[in-house]
Amino acid sequence: MGTSQARRGDTRHRIQDVALELFAEQGYEKTSLREIAEHLEVTKAALYYHFKTKEDILTSIVEDIGRPVDELITWAEAQPRTLENKQEMLRRYSAALWGASALFRFIQENQATVRELSIGEQFKSKMLALNGLLKEPEFSMASQVRCITALFAMHAGMFAVQNIEGDPEEKREAILEVALDLIAQAHRNLD
């Protein structure tokens, strides 16, 4: 029984990987379940065994890939709101973000569709939670903007550095350095 469950899990992940690749390349709306099944070289019935709709596939991807972000939010909520903890939060978020780059590429390139799906609200609530954990009410407006921009820089940076030559890890570290600097500036400029 364990072996058949492992195989089913592998199939589920293969479906997610292929679907996410197609969603990112062609767009969510232009990708059909039939195309996903064809790329996997399985029947639609085999695909339906695991997922009934494209949204079911996408929701499962967001849940699986988004788990580290949920764990990060839980961790950060339990920490004192110090500069060091916020910087650690950004380090962990950077690792999660780069580990889920295909999903974030899809979200970036399909924003209108994402807003219409249930994952749009989930994504928005995670971003609001992260923003809330980075900024403080007593911060000046400029410092609050720096905190919010730290997260934005991490997302935008992933796409901006695609056209810059260099080692992917060096790019990730450079983006993280900018985000860490923004948080440090926010804390230095407390009114």
What confidence score (pLDDT) does residue 141 get? Answer: 94
* Planar angle of CA 182, 187, 191, nearest 5 degrees: 125
| Number of domains the chain is built from | 1
Per-residue pLDDT of the chain (191 residues; tens, 9 = 90+): 333 344 445 888 999 999 999 998 888 999 999 999 999 999 888 899 999 999 999 999 988 888 899 999 999 999 999 999 999 999 999 998 888 888 877 887 788 888 888 888 888 898 999 999 999 999 999 999 999 999 999 988 888 888 889 898 999 999 999 999 999 999 987 64
Could you tell me the pTM of the whole model? 0.80
Between CA 182 and CA 148 the distance in angstroms is 9
Quick one: tokens of 191? 């009114």
What confidence score (pLDDT) does residue 101 get? Answer: 80
Between CA 36 and CA 53 the distance in angstroms is 11
- Give the CATH number for residue 58: 1.10.357.10
What confidence score (pLDDT) does residue 170 get? Answer: 92
Between CA 176 and CA 130 the distance in angstroms is 15
Check if the beta carbon of residue 90 is closer than 8 Å to that of residue 179. yes
What confidence score (pLDDT) does residue 18 get? Answer: 94
What confidence score (pLDDT) does residue 184 get? Answer: 96
Among candidate residues 139, 149, 147, 133, the one with its CA nearest the CA of residue 79: 133
What confidence score (pLDDT) does residue 121 get? Answer: 86
Provide the domain limits for residue 22.
2-188
